[in-house]
């Protein structure tokens, strides 16, 4: 950040030192290289037509097509990753936006050209398809084909599939509108922090203000932030409703019983896993309410508001990490995963896998974006005074190493692991980081600080994300039942959840109801529950690895190497945890309750 007089402002992208930015040369050296591959893929789209009506004629023809399709997909992934990452650097850069839109248009054309593939494959007589699958020539594509056959009840005619493919760009309009409004157009003004600095309030700095030890600053940030969302509540409600209606439309068009079933179908995850998660968390809400009461008492407050739940209870404990210090402590904590894991990650984090700090127009939050041919990149908005950002970096590093292992050990068609298992690898790293820091704690105050941080992490990832998951389920059920999705109806649904999850002694400010309109993940419905199931699995697996030996470690590394070569629930069973049962979620929430008791005794 640059400082002028008493005001601190985010730098322009052009002002950020190169060493703090990711190096995308593993994808493309420059935009010209991207354009060359773009033209290559664009020139291959017409070739899809040459296979139409022929996929069932012989094994050799099918193999030839699948090989061609794979080659196009591989280059397209590279193109899309580069376009996405460049746009993420600066949402306001029109050249980056244009490149991304051109790629999306290319994908739409390719999808239209290939829309015949699934219906044609599913039209092959089952006996013939069984013979194809038994042929050694198709061994590399057997699982891919079997997964397509699963979709037989949900695949339409050639013409209908083509019409759905033509809607691709249009169907993303609600999400695109939200992202432009949320990431580029919304302005939140400035605030003065506890040190007298005037800082621009943004998505990136909001969490920083909420961790201020001064309550009046936390409240001011909360009020000022949500005032902006209140001023745009009708637009935001319309975009969210549009996204939900899209999900319902596609689920019905493809003959699913619900949009939830449609979303879980690709992972072969039964809806009972989703429902078991909500039930298990609901059953444990008294423990969450107890923790919030402990927080209120230890902070010396007569009442507790949402803006009081992010600041450490022991606010006088300072935890400051430069980027290099954060990397060092993360690498130390991950030592149980072996030299290959740690050495590879060190090279990436000390090198230029990551785009480190906030800049004007940069996408908010953090993510990992791996691809088969490029480095597994990490976007951060790292702030040295926020301990949670060290955990965020460890989290995203887990995603990136998962990408690295799967791309190193699987062919392209089976390397890209699902989100369901991705959240295991990321939160597993957070568990190891917490264990390491607790082991190194020098006194009860530091230990209490870290336990508090772990509790807040569990609450945010298991409890909060489950609340989000329940909101998604409720709003989609409202749409499926023909109930209107309005500002009032969605706020009312969210308010009921806030009251239940935070408990009767918690003060739910009316403005907090607007939170349901600002969550980017809601535009990828039924995604957030995977954070909760992922952390629950990670708690179980981290204990297994730390308490085990070489066999347990290899089970976990095999899980990372597995990509999507098995269904996610089977990959997790191989690693040592069965997520079809609620045991892992209950164990995690019991762990939450035990930590709350420890915290209450320590301070």
Confidence tier at 3 by pLDDT (50, 70, 90) = very low
pLDDT digits (tens, 9 = 90+) for 140-192: 999 999 999 999 899 888 788 889 888 888 999 999 999 999 988 999 999 99
CB contact at 8 A, 208 and 381: no
CA dist., res. 272 & res. 529, Å (int): 12
In which band, very low, low, confident or very high, does the pLDDT at 8 lie, cut at 50, 70 and 90?
low
The runs of H, that is alpha helices, within 254-382 are: 259-264, 271-283, 285-298, 323-333, 339-350
- In angstroms, the Cα distances linking 312 to 68, 449, 457 are 54, 7, 12
At residue 41, the 3 state secondary structure works out as helix
81 vs 449, more confident: 81
Residue 4 — very low, low, confident or very high, per pLDDT cuts 50/70/90?
very low
pLDDT of residue 65: 98
Per-residue pLDDT at 315:
66
pLDDT at 423 over 90: no
CA quadruple 434, 436, 439, 441: dihedral sign: negative
Return the SS3 of 284: coil
Mean pLDDT, the chain, as a whole number?
94
Q: Name the active-site residue from 161, 200, 396, 470.
A: 396
Mean pLDDT of 205-228: 95
Q: Is 70 exceeded by the pLDDT of residue 5?
A: no
pLDDT value of position 550: 96
- Specify the range with the lowest mean pLDDT, choosing from 159-163, 369-373, 406-410, 491-495: 159-163
Per-residue tokens: 381: 């908005």
Question: What are the structural domains, with CATH classification, of the chain?
Answer: 14-155 (1.20.140.70)
Which residues is 378 bridged to in the sheet? Answer: 354, 368
Q: Is the pLDDT of residue 132 over 90?
A: yes
Residues contacting 294, CB < 8 A, separation 6+: 596, 599, 600
89 is a catalytic site residue = no
pLDDT of residue 168: 82
pLDDT digits (tens, 9 = 90+) for 291-311: 999 999 999 999 999 999 998
Given a cut of 60, whether residue 6 has pLDDT beyond it is no
First to last CA, the chain: 36
Mean of the pLDDT values across residues 466-472? 98
Q: Which helix (H) or strand (E) holds 354?
A: strand 354-355
Contact present, 9 and 190 (Cβ < 8 Å): no
Residue 594 has pLDDT above 90, yes or no: yes
Residues 325-375 have pLDDT tens digits of: 999 999 999 999 999 999 999 999 999 999 999 999 999 889 999 999 999
Please name the residue that has the structure tokens 């939900």. Answer: 244
Kindly state the average pLDDT of the residues 568-596.
94
Give the torsion sign (CA, 249, 255, 261, 263).
Answer: negative
Q: What's the pLDDT score for residue 1?
A: 55
pLDDT score at 157:
84
pLDDT in tens, 529-578: 999 999 999 999 999 999 999 999 999 999 999 999 999 999 999 999 99
DSSP for 196-239, please give it.
S-EEE--HHHHHHHHT-S-HHHHHHHHHHHHHHHHHTHHHHHHH
Q: How many CA atoms lie within 13 A of 260 on its CB side?
A: 20
Query: What is the Cα–Cα distance from 493 to 490, expressed in whole angstroms?
Result: 5
- pLDDT for 316: 67
Q: What are the tens digits of pLDDT across the range 12-71?
A: 999 999 999 999 999 999 999 999 999 999 999 999 999 999 999 999 999 999 999 999
pLDDT > 90 fraction of the chain, expressed in percent and rounded: 87
């Amino acid at each position: 950040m640059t400082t002028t007089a008493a005001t601190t402002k985010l730098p322009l992208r052009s002002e950020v030192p190169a060493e703090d930015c990711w190096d995308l040369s593993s994808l493309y050296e420059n935009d010209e290289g991207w354009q060359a591959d773009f033209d290559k893929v664009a020139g291959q789209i017409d070739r899809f037509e040459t296979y139409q009506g022929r996929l069932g004629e012989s094994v050799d023809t099918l193999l030839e097509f699948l090989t061609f399709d794979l080659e196009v997909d591989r280059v397209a992934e590279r193109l899309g990753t580069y376009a996405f990452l460049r746009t993420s650097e600066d949402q306001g850069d029109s050249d980056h936006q244009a490149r991304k839109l051109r790629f999306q248009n290319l994908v739409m054309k390719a999808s239209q050209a290939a829309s015949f593939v699934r219906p044609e494959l599913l039209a092959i007589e089952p006996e013939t398809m069984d013979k194809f699958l038994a042929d050694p020539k198709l061994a590399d594509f057997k699982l891919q084909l079997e997964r397509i056959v699963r979709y037989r009840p949900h695949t339409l005619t050639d013409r209908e599939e083509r019409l759905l493919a033509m809607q691709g760009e249009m169907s993303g309009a609600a999400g695109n509108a939200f992202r432009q409004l949320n990431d580029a157009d919304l302005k939140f003004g400035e605030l003065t922090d506890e040190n007298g600095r005037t800082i621009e309030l943004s998505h990136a700095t909001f969490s920083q203000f909420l961790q201020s030890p001064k309550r009046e600053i936390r409240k001011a940030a909360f009020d000022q932030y949500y005032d902006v969302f209140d001023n745009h509540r009708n637009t935001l409600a319309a975009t969210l409703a549009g996204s939900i209606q899209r999900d319902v439309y596609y689920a019905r068009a493809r003959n699913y019983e619900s949009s939830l079933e449609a979303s879980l179908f690709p992972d072969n995850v039964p809806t009972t896993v989703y429902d078991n998660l909500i039930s298990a968390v609901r059953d444990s809400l008294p423990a969450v309410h107890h923790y919030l009461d402990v927080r209120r008492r230890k902070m010396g407050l007569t009442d507790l508001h949402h803006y009081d739940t992010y600041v450490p209870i022991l606010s006088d404990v300072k935890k400051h990490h430069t980027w290099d210090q954060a990397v060092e402590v993360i690498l130390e904590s991950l030592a149980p995963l072996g030299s290959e894991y740690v050495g590879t990650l060190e090279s990436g984090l000390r090198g230029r896998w990551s785009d480190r700090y906030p800049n004007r127009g940069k996408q908010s939050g953090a993510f990992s974006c791996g691809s088969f041919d490029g480095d597994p990149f990490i976007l951060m908005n790292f702030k040295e005074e926020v301990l949670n950002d060290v955990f965020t970096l460890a989290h995203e590093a887990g995603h990136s190493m998962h990408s690295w292992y799967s791309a190193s050990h699987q062919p392209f068609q089976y390397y890209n692991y699902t989100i369901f298992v991705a959240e295991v690898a990321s939160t597993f790293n957070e568990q190891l980081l917490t264990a390491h820091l607790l082991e190194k704690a020098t006194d009860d105050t530091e230990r209490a600080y870290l336990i508090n941080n772990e509790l807040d992490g569990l609450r945010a990832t298991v409890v909060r994300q489950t609340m989000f998951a329940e909101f998604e389920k409720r709003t989609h059920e409202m749409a499926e039942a023909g109930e209107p999705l309005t500002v009032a109806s969605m706020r009312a649904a969210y308010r009921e959840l806030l009251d239940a999850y935070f408990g009767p002694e918690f003060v739910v400010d009316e403005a907090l109801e607007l939170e349901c309109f600002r969550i980017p993940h809601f535009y990828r419905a039924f995604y957030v529950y995977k954070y909760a199931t992922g952390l629950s699995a990670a708690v179980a697996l981290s204990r297994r690895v730390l308490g085990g030996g070489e066999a347990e470690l290899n089970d976990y590394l095999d899980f990372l190497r597995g990509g999507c070569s098995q269904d996610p629930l089977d990959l997790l069973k191989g690693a040592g945890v069965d997520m079809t049962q609620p045991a892992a979620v209950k164990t995690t929430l019991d762990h939450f309750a035990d930590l709350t008791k420890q915290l209450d005794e320590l301070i």
